[in-house]
């Protein structure tokens, strides 16, 4: 196993679209949301154990989730858990992890990935990551993994690529497009040169540090100034103070959309970002009338079809006459809504917070 390979797992999100199961105090990356017996972050960590040494895996998360990370990933040392005092999107998160790794090993190649995605074909995923890490070590490039689209999905960002390549597989990126409307998504699909943006990045430590210097120089200065305190007792207080100076910006918008050395590897490994209840429904086992029930032990359904049901295992639940609904109960909260209106969940969370405070959030 290559000791120059590193992984950064981004685990700071609050997963509000999976409310009420996902709460601010216990978000979806720390939940076994698919009923597999392992949480999403545990599955992500175990995948990267096949890519790099365990001491080379880092988790960047909100300070409030430090104990959850320690409980769920007990093999991680304290200096591998990088905590953020406030949410500032993905660019500061990436900068923190990559500058820290660069201070330890300037020859590092790094994969950065979310903690809460599903990968069905693990072998294909590992092959794509290892190929990308090797390419990143050899070339002056920033790599992103693009998923070959199977439908005109409006919930994903899209990456357009050209015929210019490094080797045969890594194509130069032409454009990034945020979530398009369905007509535009259909056009992208028909053109054949667009991929879904999986939010998985690979680069060498020196190239991403240089990119911060070019495109986010203020952020570069903040984390470069911390080189003297990385891996010391002064790291956490220094970084937590520095974070207050960071702008709220994504790595996509801050660097990837601006840099001229971005390449994409078209990939197929059974990927889903598990962004909504609809994505969980699509991936779950269903009965003969299309109901997906997690867990199913004490749920009885009459004249009901195409429902997504997630309720506590000890609770007896009887549903009759429901078609195409989401039924979710957790944390003393019951949510029932049509599947085609699940995009309203974020607004529901905001309304609940306004009416009842943070007790149910």
DSSP line for 122-149:
HHHHHHHHHHHHHHHHHSS-EEEEEEPP
Pair 242, 100 in one domain: yes
Question: For 21-33, what is each residue's pLDDT tens digit?
Answer: 988 889 999 998 8
Pair 211, 305 in one domain: no
Pair 30, 175 in one domain: yes
Tell me if 208 is assigned to some domain. yes
Pair 113, 237 in one domain: yes
Residue 64 reports pLDDT greater than 80: yes
Pair 285, 263 in one domain: no
Grade residue 1 by pLDDT with cuts at 50, 70 and 90.
Answer: confident
Instruction: Answer for the pair 60, 97: CB distance below 8 angstroms, yes or no.
Output: yes
The total number of residues shown for the chain amounts to 361
Question: For 138-148, what is each residue's pLDDT tens digit?
Answer: 999 999 999 99
Burial of 262 (0-12, 13-18, 19+ CB in 10 A): buried
Final residue of a domain: which of 239, 272, 305? 272
Query: What is the number of domains present in the chain?
Result: 2
Q: What is the pLDDT of residue 212?
A: 97
Mean pLDDT confidence for 112-137: 95
Final residue of a domain: which of 251, 272, 293? 272
State percent of the chain over pLDDT 70: 100
Tell me if 323 is assigned to some domain. yes
Sign of CA dihedral 182, 177, 158, 33: negative
Q: What is the pLDDT of residue 128?
A: 96
Going from the C-alpha of 320 to that of each of 278, 285, 333, the distances in angstroms are: 21, 20, 20
Mean pLDDT confidence for 238-265: 94
Distance CA 361, CA 347 (A): 12
Question: For 289-344, what is each residue's pLDDT tens digit?
Answer: 999 998 778 999 999 999 999 998 889 999 999 999 999 998 889 999 999 888 78
Strands 109-114 and 271-272, bridge-based pairing? unpaired
Burial of 284 (0-12, 13-18, 19+ CB in 10 A): middle
Question: For 215-234, what is each residue's pLDDT tens digit?
Answer: 999 999 999 999 999 999 99
Grade residue 192 by pLDDT with cuts at 50, 70 and 90.
Answer: confident
Half-sphere exposure of residue 295, counting CA atoms within 13 Å on the CB side? 11
Pair 300, 151 in one domain: no
Domain of 207, CATH number, reads: 3.90.550.10
Tell me if 361 is assigned to some domain. no
Contacts 24+ apart (CB under 8 A), 75-81: 76/45, 79/231, 79/235, 80/55
Tell me if 101 is assigned to some domain. yes
Q: What is the pLDDT of residue 219?
A: 96
Helices 40-48 & 122-138 angle (0-180, nearest 10): 50
Question: For 40-52, what is each residue's pLDDT tens digit?
Answer: 999 999 999 999 9
Pair 345, 264 in one domain: no
Pair 175, 36 in one domain: yes
Residue with tokens 């949510």: 335
Q: What is the pLDDT of residue 92?
A: 96
Mean pLDDT confidence for 238-247: 93
Tell me if 76 is assigned to some domain. yes
Residue 251 reports pLDDT greater than 80: yes
Final residue of a domain: which of 247, 272, 297? 272
Pair 150, 291 in one domain: no
Distance CA 24, CA 27 (A): 6
Pair 239, 352 in one domain: no
Pair 185, 287 in one domain: no
Distance CA 60, CA 106 (A): 20
Quote the domain boundaries for residue 292.
277-356
Q: What is the pLDDT of residue 246?
A: 95
Cβ neighbors of 74 (< 8 A, separation 6 or more) are none
Tell me if 20 is assigned to some domain. yes
Q: What is the pLDDT of residue 344?
A: 84
Pair 63, 205 in one domain: yes
Tell me if 130 is assigned to some domain. yes
């Amino acid at each position: 196993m290559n000791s120059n390979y590193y992984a950064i797992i981004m685990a700071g999100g609050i997963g509000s679209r999976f409310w009420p199961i996902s709460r601010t105090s216990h978000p979806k990356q720390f939940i076994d949301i698919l009923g597999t017996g392992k949480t999403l972050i545990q599955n992500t960590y175990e995948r990267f154990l096949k890519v790099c040494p365990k001491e080379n895996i880092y988790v960047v998360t909100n300070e409030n989730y430090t104990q959850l990370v320690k409980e769920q990933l007990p093999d991680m040392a304290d200096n591998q858990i990088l905590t953020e005092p406030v949410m500032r999107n993905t660019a500061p998160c990436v900068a923190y992890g990559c500058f820290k790794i660069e201070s330890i090993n300037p020859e590092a190649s790094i994969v950065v990935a979310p903690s809460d995605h599903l990968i069905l074909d693990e072998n294909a995923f590992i092959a794509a990551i290892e190929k990308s890490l090797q390419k990143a070590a050899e070339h002056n490039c920033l790599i992103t993994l693009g998923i070959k689209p199977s439908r005109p999905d409006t919930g994903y960002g899209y990456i357009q690529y050209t015929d210019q390549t490094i080797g045969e597989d890594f194509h130069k990126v032409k454009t990034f497009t945020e979530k398009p409307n369905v007509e535009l998504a259909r056009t992208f699909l028909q053109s054949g040169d667009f991929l879904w943006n999986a939010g998985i990045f690979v680069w060498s430590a020196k190239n991403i540090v240089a990119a911060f210097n070019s495109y986010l120089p203020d952020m570069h200065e903040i984390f470069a100034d911390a080189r003297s305190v990385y891996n010391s007792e002064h790291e956490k207080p220094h970084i937590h103070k520095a974070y207050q100076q960071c702008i709220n910006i994504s790595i996509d918008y801050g660097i990837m959309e601006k840099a001229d050395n971005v390449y994409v590897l078209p990939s197929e490994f059974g990927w889903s970002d598990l962004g909504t209840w609809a994505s969980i429904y699509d991936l779950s086992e269903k009965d003969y009338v299309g109901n997906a029930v997690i867990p199913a032990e004490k749920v009885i359904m009459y004249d009901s079809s195409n429902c997504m049901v997630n309720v506590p295992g000890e609770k007896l639940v009887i549903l009759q006459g429901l078609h195409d609904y989401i039924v979710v109960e957790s944390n003393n909260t019951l949510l029932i809504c049509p599947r085609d209106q699940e995009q309203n969940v974020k607004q529901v969370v905001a309304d609940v917070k306004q009416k009842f405070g943070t007790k149910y959030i």
